[in-house]
Structures are given as C-alpha cells and as structure tokens.
C-alpha cells in the first residue's frame, strides 16, 4: 500500500493530523497560525454536552477484545504500514527506585522512578474504521464508580455525527502500566465513552484541530471490570482530578506513550515504556487555550495526563489536562507538548462518567 494512498489520507483526517494520536496516518502540513479560538459556527454557537458512545457491553465482546490485543499487535499499534513494519525492540532502561528530585525539568525520557503513576496511567489501544490500529494514553482518575478514565477526544472518535458507523473507534482497550508488550495489571475494555458534543460539528466546517484549539479535546471512558468483578481503580489506584484555571509558570509533569512519527526508524520512542516530561506551564502562542511545557513526546502521547502538585516520591498528583498537540499547532519553542486544560466542558464529561456504572 502506498504511503499516499486515499485510505491513509482518510486515516489522517480522522485522527487529526497535528494531534498526537499514534495512528497509521500521513502527517499533513500545519494549519495557519491562530491567535484565538476559531470563529466558526461550530465553535461559536454549538451546544456543549456529553455526546456518548457504546463499547463492549457483553462478556463475548470483552473476551474478543482482550484476545485481539496480543503482544505483537500492541507493539505495532500506530505503525504506518504494519504489514511491513518490524516489531519495535523492548525498552530495557533500568528502573531507578530513587525519587526524582522535586522541580527537576525533564525534556523527555523513560519514567524509571516507580510510584502510583506507573499503575494509574496506561496505553489506550483502538482500531480505526478501516481496520488499522492506533494508540493513545489514558489515566484512571478518582470517581465513585472506580472505573473512569480521562483521555483526549480525538483518541476515541473523529469529528462528525456520533451516530455514523465510522465515527467512534473500535476495540478500545486500556492497558495500565503497559510495558514492552505486556499487560502487567491486565487489560480493560471500554464499556461507555463520551466527548463534548462540539465534536459532532463536522458538517459546519470545524476540524479536529479547530476544536482542539477551542479547548474541547477532552474525553472520558468507563471501563469494564477485570475478570472476577474488580473495578480498575481497585487494581491500579487512581489520580486526583481538578478543574482549576491554569497559572503561568506552574510546574507540571506530563506522562505518555509516544510512538514516534510515522515509521521513522530513527524515532526516539517506540511506545514501549511510559515517558515523562516536566517543566513550567505556558499558553500556546498560536492557541492560548492550550497549555504546555518543553517536551519531545510525539504521536501516541495524546490523552496523557498533565499533573500539578505531582509528588515524585509517591507518583501521585492532580490531573488538570490531557495532551492534545505539539508546537506544530500551538506554537512556542520546539519541542513543546500542549494539553487541553480541564474546565467547564471537561467537568460535564467527568460528571457524566463518575457515576456511570460498569
């Protein structure tokens, strides 16, 4: 299959070419700089309420999805041409039990310091409507149902009608603590999910990039329990979640599973281990509603948590946003990683998910 085939270009449009979803997709040129949220009918007057989708609701569906995500399939998720892509080598960076000194900036590297973040953050796998696999990052957050994840909207669906067959991704599967093709804490299929209804607005001309810049690239998912009935948070623990206004210069820690760009054999990351960045937060010059820090994560980091008040000794903090894009879209120094920070839209989604029974 040619790298410029129509199928691959459709996948690029579905995933959001400038967003950091590890998808089998061609990276398209950057869009024009934006000084503020785009003034389109979709971003100016469309309603904002949870637009919901359904995942695996029967034991048969759960078993099928669990069997689908084999070690090799997980390792290859996000490859441009998986049929001819070598299986990535394992990341054997040794662990370091010593806590990272507080306030240490980090441009990007394998997280070696353990703690709760090693269990509550994981890789989120899915299959596009054309049958190709991709991946993002997601986090277990505190909720009454002990089954709630936060991630990016573009990790769950493309922009368009939620009723369309090809809008929502399939085979959604969360692997907390993913490491080198293994499921150290098991795998959890997604039962129900939601994005802002702003993602329903493709007919009015808004792209995923437009909606990300406008601050709507947040999503929640409710996962099925493990065999035996234990909810995910009882196994992994969970991170706090909050919806504060961003503060420039506030020190944040970001985590994700970057996959590199396309099938570049020289790419720094292969999705094998969780990667960490840390530094002071700042708004994006081209997208002031997005907040980020210096970081070299790439595709696959989408949906990963940005935590404030992160305790490097315990690996716990408060999730205040999820990774959306890089400096390609939001501007600023290269490399940078930007989050959709949680506000009223994210709160509506969380309130929908928190009591949703799995």
Q: How many CB atoms lie within 10 A of CB 147?
A: 26
Pick left, alpha or beta for residue 245 (phi over 0 → left; psi -120 to 50 → alpha; otherwise beta). beta
Peptide bond before residue 335 is cis, with ω within 30 degrees of 0: yes
Q: What does the block give as tokens for 349?
A: 């989604």
The rounded distance, in Å, linking the Cα atoms of 204 and 127 is 26
Maximum distance among all alpha carbons in the chain? 52
Q: What is the pLDDT along the chain (358 residues), one digit of tens a residue?
A: 332 232 332 343 334 334 667 654 332 223 323 333 444 544 555 789 999 999 999 999 999 999 999 999 999 999 878 888 899 999 999 999 999 999 999 999 999 999 999 999 999 999 998 899 999 999 999 999 999 999 999 999 999 889 887 899 999 999 999 999 999 999 999 999 999 999 997 656 788 999 999 999 999 999 999 999 999 999 999 999 999 999 999 999 999 999 975 445 557 899 999 999 999 999 999 999 999 999 999 999 999 999 999 999 999 999 999 999 999 999 999 999 999 999 999 999 999 999 898 6
CATH of domain 6-27+34-82+96-354: 2.40.10.120
Q: Is 35 exposed, middle or buried (0-12, 13-18, 19+ CB in 10 A)?
A: exposed
CB 128 within 8 A of CB 165: no
């Amino acid at each position: 299959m040619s790298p410029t085939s129509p199928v691959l270009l459709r996948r690029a449009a579905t995933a959001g070419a400038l967003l950091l979803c590890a998808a089998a997709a061609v990276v398209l040129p950057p869009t024009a700089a934006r000084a503020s949220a785009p003034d389109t009918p979709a971003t100016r007057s469309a309603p904002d309420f949870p637009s919901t989708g359904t995942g695996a609701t029967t034991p048969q569906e759960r078993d099928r999805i669990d069997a689908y995500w084999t070690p090799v399939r997980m390792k290859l998720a996000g490859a441009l041409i998986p049929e001819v892509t070598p299986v990535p080598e394992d990341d054997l960076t040794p662990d370091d039990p010593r806590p990272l000194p507080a306030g240490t900036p980090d441009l990007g590297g394998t997280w070696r310091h353990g703690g709760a973040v090693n269990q509550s953050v994981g890789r989120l796998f899915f299959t596009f409507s054309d049958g190709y696999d991709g991946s993002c990052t997601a986090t277990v957050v505190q909720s009454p149902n002990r089954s709630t994840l936060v991630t990016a909207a573009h990790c769950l669906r493309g922009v368009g009608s939620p009723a369309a067959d090809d809008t929502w991704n399939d085979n959604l599967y969360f692997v907390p603590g993913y490491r080198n093709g293994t499921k150290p804490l098991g795998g959890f299929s997604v039962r129900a999910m939601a994005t802002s209804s702003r993602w329903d607005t493709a007919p009015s001309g808004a792209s995923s990039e437009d909606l990300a810049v406008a601050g709507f690239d947040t999503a929640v998912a409710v996962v099925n329990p493990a065999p035996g009935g234990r909810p995910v948070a009882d196994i992994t623990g969970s991170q706090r979640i909050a919806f504060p206004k961003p503060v420039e210069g506030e020190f944040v820690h970001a985590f994700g599973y970057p996959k590199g760009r396309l099938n570049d054999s020289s790419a720094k990351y292969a999705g094998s281990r969780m990667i960490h960045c840390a530094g002071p937060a700042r708004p994006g010059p081209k997208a002031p509603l997005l907040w980020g820090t210096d970081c070299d994560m790439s595709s696959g980091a989408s949906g990963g948590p940005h935590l404030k008040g992160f305790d490097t000794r315990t690996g716990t903090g408060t999730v205040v946003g999820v990774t959306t894009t890089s400096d390609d879209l939001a501007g600023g120094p290269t490399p940078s990683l930007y989050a959709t920070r949680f506000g009223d839209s994210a709160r509506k989604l969380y309130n929908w998910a928190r009591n949703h029974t799995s």
